[in-house]
Chains A and B, each alone.
Chain A
């Protein structure tokens, strides 16, 4: 069978075969380009997202420099609009989403006792397509003329891209085209990842790992993946309509022809609100792992936390109009969505209380991961509560589109998601490197971030309530906004310092971090039963799972009073460790990368010259064909 497939292989595949074999030994750049190992793909996701985080952070600093003083002229209106558009788009699509993908990739197989994800090559395809989409989107900066003279070509319509501003009549240049295709490509990457993780989680669990024994992070990965699979097609449709409007003169959103600009808002937020939970649920999963480990207590009320996560997933589909309260949809629509928005606070509140109860009565180790996780709970709470004030529809008529909203969602997505992601990085870094991150630098990182974050975003509540609208590149003095804006700008630089400390810590710890051993935190879930760094086959023997927090129960038993006592010679030490010999893992493949390269080429063709479209399509088809025809596991390896 394998020989028959081998004979059918295309010439290109033959040419790549030697390189594939070189890649199989796991060294050098070629092995990274062809990797299908979930740990390597997770690492690629993580570093790429970190790169975009720095990029989006620089954009944020430019925004804050411009707004530090009234009547500032450091940026002009046009530059400011392009930069804030790219800041939002970057942070949502190129930072928080892929960082979550990084954690899914690194952890889900380890936590469920699998050797890889269900579709390793599809996983590689997700990453390369994400990278292609991210680079393509940012390439738009160079389309506005001479970038060194400050002529930026990036989209200038906001990350929400409200029609009719995105029409060719009101948005000049190709920025919006790049935005449309960039997001479309990123959507493909997310969809492929979403399907992959649903199948992985449902089908690849080790024996005994029932759904209600899964670590909470895996539950949140599952809910997030379902949200991705259902939400991405909605924005895909909206983007296709916009693409047809812009490229082929369709009139979906053209009011003069009976099109409806609000149609865009409905579709964008029908995607956009689940998207908010796509960003935050993985963070909630991370926190639900860190808090129990560092308190040495199981998660308080596991079923409640699972079900509230699932409830949030469902309810997230019924609240999108709260982004549109002031568009004039009518009192009844606003009333219905006002109540649904109020009620989504309930499952979120449940989680906050359960996390606090997890800490209560624990033996809390105050290390960097724990601090970030607690920081998440504290900051996310503030964001959630300002969310409650937003759900009061009539008073939100005042706060809608002001800096109060900016404060709210940064508390949720930065104080929330990003804090948790930092915590996760400190927590799981030892698992993949065998080294600890530096604790002193970690503490500096946390405390400066907490200070800088609150100094930047708390004042925005005030500037918003004092009537400062969002997305303005300048403001005049005498409106009571100056002090708050200056505070925000100073805070932004403290955040920048903190992120720099994190990057330094990351580099130093990779180079010469202290050895961590397999289980530095007294972990509870399966990944800590493996050696650090994790061998490429993960589990030499697929584990049999007997309980939730299975690894903890291998280390501790309980006496009659319910007090945990350590098992002598517990954990993974003690019993003999088989090596990975004879384990067949999927072979490396270049085809996912090849297929991914096709997308930006097609997009460039659609924007500039149709002649490029068949070239990109050919790359995509060759990639997909080679991928389909290539055997998943090379018997020779």
Chain B
């Protein structure tokens, strides 16, 4: 009877853990618009792989601790009211082991972390395609400093326009804000970078293939933070050239920044 119950509870716990794991994994490869697992660019892929490198050992440790707790509780539960166990005060060697072993494991994890950190944070390549990103309550404005319009002025997006860039090339984003702190994020291409007024942060992303992805502001920025979305579009070189030509053909210039200012004022 006791044996049965113990087996049963172990089965229940194991089943629960399996369900959790299944739930966890079900998110991994789905094609939802902001799924950080479904990477479609070099940066997002590297970040996901690094995450896995920390996540799998974490799941193993979690299973060990949770199962260990359940087994301990069942095995050492008090059976007689007067039962008093041997008084063990500690074991220095064991404790040193479980201090040093995690430290070593964690420092090993720090190696790929460092290498990716410095890869993502490196100086821009000369031939990067550059996009200046400006956050303003509650929209994103894009400027292409290397592209000139028909009148020779810098090409800018209108409010609500997607950010356009060529696929397969490294894109350098210079990110800033005109009012409060925002955070520029296209999950399927890579992690986010804050848009801080008076600071010019920069990072790079790269899309493997042409495609369209959604992103949204990730730093709380006031009333309509939830609605501060953006669309990113990577075009093949041919489509990109066509888009640029169309832009330069003189659909009238729109000064996005100037148009946006009144909405941010109190």
Residues of A at the B interface (CB closer than 8 Å) are 77-78, 81, 156-158, 162-165, 169-172, 255-256, 260-262, 295-298, 300-304, 326-328, 330-331, 334-335, 338-339, 342-343, 345-346, 349-350, 352-354, 356-357, 359-366, 374, 377-378, 381-382, 385-386, 388-389, 391-402, 458-459, 461-462, 465-475, 478-481, 556, 558, 562-566
Contacts and interface: CB of A to CB of B under 8 A. Distances in A.
Nearest to B100: A346
Contact of A335 (B72, B88, B118, B217): B118
Contacts of B48: 395, 398
Given A297-B88, A394-B191, A480-B35, A461 B24 contact: yes
B183 interface: yes
A395 B83 CA distance: 50
B18 interface: no
A81 B113 contact: no
Contacts of A566: 82, 84
Contact of A359 (B53, B72, B192, B202): B72
B124 to A, nearest CB: 13
A392 B54 contact: yes
A298 B88 contact: yes
Closest 4 interchain pairs by CB?
A397-B191, A467-B34, A328-B201, A331-B121
Contact of B197 (A81, A164, A356): A164
Contacts of A302: 89-90
19 contacts: A77-B223, A156-B223, A164-B180, A165-B221, A170-B137, A304-B90, A328-B199, A331-B118, A335-B114, A342-B107, A361-B85, A363-B83, A366-B73, A377-B69, A385-B62, A386-B58, A392-B50, A401-B218, A479-B34
B252 interface: no
A395 B219 contact: no
Contact of A377 (B44, B65, B120): B65
Given A349-B98, A359-B76, A395 B88 contact: no
Given A170-B179, A342-B113, 5 more contacts: A156-B222, A398-B48, A400-B183, A400-B191, A481-B32
A339 B225 CA distance: 32
B78 interface: yes
A360 B72 contact: yes
Contacts of A399: 36, 51
A263 to B, nearest CB: 11
Interface in B94-130: 94-95, 98-99, 102-103, 106-107, 109-110, 113-114, 116-118, 120-121
B2 interface: no
A346 B191 CA distance: 27
A261 B181 contact: yes
A356 B192 contact: no
A295 B75 CA distance: 12
Interface residues of B, number: 94
Contacts, number: 308
Nearest to A165: B180
A338 B89 contact: no
B235 to A, nearest CB: 23
Contacts of A170: 137, 179-180, 222, 266
B182 to A, nearest CB: 10
B146 interface: no
A343 B55 CA distance: 17
A356 B65 contact: yes
Given A361-B85, A374-B69, A261 B196 contact: yes
Q: Which of B36, B118, B216, B224 has the most CB of A within 10 A?
A: B36
Contacts of B224: 77
Given A261-B196, A296-B85, A397-B191, A345 B24 contact: no
Contacts of B86: 297, 361, 562-564
A169 B266 contact: yes
A402 B61 CA distance: 24
Contacts of A342: 106-107, 109-110, 113
A465 B99 contact: no
B34 A468 contact: yes
A364 B73 contact: yes
Contacts of A468: 34
B87 A356 contact: no
Given A298-B88, A392-B51, A398-B192, A165 B222 contact: yes
A386 B59 CA distance: 9
B65 A352 contact: yes
Contact of B34 (A262, A296, A338, A466): A466
A356 B72 contact: yes
A334 B198 CA distance: 20
B47 interface: yes
A403 B228 CA distance: 17
Interface in B192-210: 192-194, 196-199, 201-202
B98 A335 contact: no
Contacts of A163: 181
Nearest to A380: B65
Contacts of B190: 397-398
Contact of A558 (B36, B87, B202): B87
A467 B197 contact: no
Contacts of B78: 296, 363-366
Nearest to A81: B223
B8 interface: no
Given A261-B196, A377-B69, A479 B32 contact: yes
A213 B220 CA distance: 47
A76 B190 CA distance: 31
Given A357-B94, A397-B192, A400-B191, A466 B102 contact: no
A343 B85 contact: no
Contacts of B187: 398, 467
B33 to A, nearest CB: 6
A330 B196 contact: no
A345 B193 CA distance: 26
